[in-house]
Structure formats: C-alpha cells, structure tokens
Amino acid sequence: MEITPAIPEDRQVIDSYGPGRFKIAKTPYEGPVIVFPMRVAAWTVDRLEVLTLESLAPVLSAEEPVELLLIGTGPSMRLVSSDLRAALKDRGVAVDFMATGAACRTFNVLLAEARPVAAALIPV
C-alpha cells in the first residue's frame, strides 16, 4: 500500500538543504529563498535580525494565495518581535517560525496536501 502522497512534478519540492544552499525541484539555489508551490524567489534576508515586514513583501503581495507562511530561522528556531508577528497577523497571514530544516520538511508536507503555503528560508 502506497502511503506517500503524490506531488505533481511542477511543484517546488524542497529536495535538500545545507550550509548556505538549497536544492528545490532539482535546481540548486545559493542563499536565502522564498518558496511558493509553483515558484522560487531569491530573498534578501540572510539573518533573522534583518527580517522586517517590508522584507516579506514578496509573500504579502504574491498573486497566489498564502494562508500559512513558514519562516525558517536558520539552524535553530528563534522568534521575532511581537510587533512583527502582530503586523503579519493583521494582514491575515498565519506565520510559524521554526528551524530551517523543520520548515523545509513542513513545507513539503503541506505542499503534498495542496495547502496554500509559502516558506521564507534563511540557510543553515
């Protein structure tokens, strides 16, 4: 019995991650990225200290709906200011902060469920 859900080939599955890099849908990426179900974008946030509402504009203004934003905070889970969390909540986007590895795995699970998700990933 097959229990692994089939993910359409045109989706941006996160294949792997490592120091300063990601492999997404068989394509290597250097540095931070934002991953949507159908595309990947370079991101300017290379450490959590520079994360702002403005730096998340590619997600907040995306054409595709994003109900849940996963933020990979690097090698370990860290939180940001309550002001930033409140501003994101005010814009109707649920946000979950977690270590980048956990964010990659969670993104793939939600992608398999066809959920409207995005992941903003700071490399480990």
Give pLDDT, residue 38: 96
Query: Side chain identity at 5, as an amino acid letter?
Result: P
List, for residues 6-42, the tens digit of each pLDDT value. 788 889 999 999 999 999 999 999 999 999 999 999 9
Query: What pLDDT shows up at residue 5?
Result: 65
**Sign of the C-alpha dihedral computed for residues 31, 84, 99 and 40 taken in this order:** negative
pLDDT-derived band at 4, boundaries 50, 70, 90: low
Residue 115 contacts residue 92 (beta carbons within 8 Å): no
Write down the pLDDT at residue 93: 87
| pLDDT score recorded for residue 7 | 81
Q: Which domains does the chain have, with CATH numbers?
A: 14-122 (3.40.1230.10)
Q: Burial-class residue 54 by CB neighbours within 10 Å (0-12, 13-18, 19+).
A: exposed
**Contacts within 8 Å (CB) and 24+ apart, 14-18:** 14/104, 14/107, 14/108, 14/119, 17/100, 17/101, 17/104, 17/121, 17/123, 17/124, 18/123, 18/124
CA distances in angstroms from 42 to 19, 33, 81, 86, 95, listed in the order given: 16, 5, 24, 25, 19
| pLDDT for 1 beyond 80 | no
Q: Which of 2-6, 43-47, 84-88 has the lowest mean pLDDT?
A: 2-6
Query: Which pLDDT value is given to residue 68?
Result: 96
- pLDDT per residue as tens digits for the range 69-120: 999 999 999 988 899 999 999 998 899 999 999 999 999 999 999 999 999 9
Q: What integer pLDDT is reported at residue 6 of this predicted model?
A: 75
Residue 118 one-letter amino acid? A
